[in-house]
Amino acid sequence: MLKTKPDLSFSKLWNISFGFFGVQIAYALQSANISRIFATLGADPHNLSYFWILPPLMGMVVQPLVGLFSDKTWTRFGRRIPYLFVGAAVAVIVMCLLPNAGSLGLTVASAMTFGLVALMFLDTSINMAMQPFKMMVGDMVNEKQKAKAYSIQSFLCNAGSLVGYVFPFLFAWIGLKNIAPEGEIPDTVKWSFYIGAAILILCVIYTTANVKEYEPEQMAAFQESAKEETSAEVAAGGSKNKALKVFIQVGIVQFFCWAAFMYMWTYTNGSIADTVWNTTDAKSAGYQEAGNWVGILFAVQAIGSVLWAIVLPYFKNIKVGYALSLVIGGLGFIMVPYIHNQYLLFVPYFLIGFAWAAMLAMPFTLVTNALEGSKYMGTFLGLFNCTICIPQIVAAALGGIILAKLGSFQGNMLLLAGILLVVGAICVFFITNTKKATQPAK
């Protein structure tokens, strides 16, 4: 029996992560449209950030549990795949319900309550479907190929984001209605969620049909081999505390990065509606046009991320590449409030994609390398997801208060996002490099 994980072909690495494409479409639709949906239902701009507390809160609860239980799950369908499939199935149902929150004849308060409950289930199911992909890379891919595997996952993540972000604009272009009766969600958004749900389930079916996870005996042999290697490293001067140290240090960087992106998702719509379409009225046609343009800008961000991900492996020092990416993204955020042309906004959002590329690839490479050999990889990765969720919860809880202090102009929150990314870049230089993760694989 093999004691070390074999090299996998490109097609196998691709198949492990392909379902992530569909999951990310769902996540992109949620990220780009939640503020728009609740503003259309009647939410006050100063309260928009509070609606964003629920998604990361559910992620913080669900992903560690998925990791914990899937570490102990062995079925004929696999170890992680059952959780992936159930999460995707629930997400499909909720994606068909959420955009109809304003079309059920409910009062404004009841419609927003329905929307919040639907959002809770949507984010729970997306998190349940998303986490197994990260765990399967940790389970099935050896150290030599791990950076490549996460790069493939990053590419599929950004490709899925691109599709999800563009859908509302595309459907408006082909003639679907982009305005609706007061309190209702436009058809462009509804059909974006419907089509996204269909693609999600098809992608997940593809992965479940084409990926065979290792048997318990094989995983036990791999873990034992990794433990022997780790013991040798410790005897040669390594530290058993290194994994925890890397976990905390990367988590600090994550705090500033994810807080920044929470403010992007929350306030981009209101900011560009004000600066480009000269409106703050969520019921106006201009606000809905801005909502469609948000999808285009986030798609530009995804393109920037894909292209920068190709460049990142060429940095000889991973911390320099990581920090530079965050600084460039921060400058992009700072530019946004000062641009009044919708097409010139492509420039800052393309630059913001540089930060996103680094955030997707580098933290998980650093942490999974530090955790190699642990039979609780899924549990640790679930806990590491808290470094993504906690900053979003804190940022969302404080968003309304900060906006009131800075004035009602939502662009000020994007300026703050830029500052947060620069602070995160400074914190990168305090991360302890592990021997195996000093440079991503080319």
Average pLDDT over residues 407-431: 93
pLDDT at 382 over 80: no
Average pLDDT over residues 9-28: 89
pLDDT reported for residue 232: 47
pLDDT at 121 over 70: yes
Mean pLDDT check: name the lowest of 52-61, 71-80, 165-174, 223-232: 223-232
Q: Are 246 and 434 in contact (CB under 8 A)?
A: yes
Mean pLDDT check: name the lowest of 21-30, 69-78, 231-240, 396-405: 231-240
pLDDT reported for residue 264: 94
Cα–Cα distance for residue pair 176/139, rounded to 1 Å: 44
* Widest Cα–Cα separation across the chain: 70
pLDDT reported for residue 354: 95
pLDDT reported for residue 394: 92
pLDDT reported for residue 3: 66
Buried b (16+ CB within 10 A) or exposed e, 330-354: bbbbbbbbebeebeebbebbbbbbb
pLDDT reported for residue 27: 87
pLDDT reported for residue 331: 98
Domain boundary assignment for the chain: 10-437
Average pLDDT over residues 157-166: 87
Task: Find the Cα–Cα–Cα–Cα dihedral 42, 48, 53, 59, rounded to 10°.
Answer: 80
pLDDT reported for residue 239: 47
Pick the more confident residue, 328 or 375: 328
pLDDT reported for residue 196: 94
Mean pLDDT check: name the lowest of 149-153, 164-168, 284-288, 291-295: 149-153
Q: Which residue has the tokens 């964003």?
A: 52
pLDDT at 375 over 70: no
pLDDT at 401 over 50: yes
pLDDT reported for residue 348: 97
pLDDT reported for residue 435: 47
pLDDT reported for residue 235: 43
Average pLDDT over residues 350-365: 88
> 78 - beta bridge partners?
75
pLDDT at 439 over 50: no
Q: Give residue-wise pLDDT tens across range 189-241.
A: 999 999 999 999 999 999 888 888 777 777 777 666 655 555 544 443 444 56
The dihedral sign for the CA sequence 75, 389, 379, 359: positive
pLDDT at 63 over 90: no
Give the 3-state secondary structure of the chain.
CCCCCCCCCHHHHHHHHHHHHHHHHHHHHHHHHHHHHHHHHCCCHHHHHHHCCHHHHHHHHHHHHHHHHHHCCCECCECCHHHHHHHHHHHHHHHHHHHHCCCCCCCHHHHHHHHHHHHHHHHHHHHHHHHHHHHHHHHHCCHHHHHHHHHHHHHHHHHHHHHHHHHHHHHHHCCCCCCCCCCCCCHHHHHHHHHHHHHHHHHHHHHHHHCCCCCHHHHHHHHHHHHHHHHHHHHCCCCCCHHHHHHHHHHHHHHHHHHHHHHHHHHHHHHHHHHCCCCCCCCCHHHHHHHHHHHHHHHHHHHHHHHHHHHHHHCCCHHHHHHHHHHHHHHHHHHHHHCCCCCCCHHHHHHHHHHHHHHHHHHHHHHHHHHCCCCCHHHHHHHHCHHHHHHHHHHHHHHHHHHHHHCCCCHHHHHHHHHHHHHHHHHHCCCCCCHHHCCCCC
On average, the pLDDT of the chain sits at: 83
pLDDT reported for residue 43: 78
Q: Give residue-wise pLDDT tens across range 281-325.
A: 877 889 889 988 998 999 899 899 889 988 887 888 888 999 999
pLDDT reported for residue 438: 44
List, in order, residues 6 or more apart from 220 with CB less than 8 Å away: 375
Residue 402 Cα distances to 42, 97, 240, 259, 280, angstroms: 21, 32, 41, 13, 18
Name, of 41-45, 83-87, 296-300, 435-439, the range with top average pLDDT: 296-300
pLDDT reported for residue 233: 47
CATH number at 10-437:
1.20.1250.20
pLDDT at 140 over 90: no
Average pLDDT over residues 325-330: 97
Pick the more confident residue, 141 or 424: 424
pLDDT reported for residue 253: 95
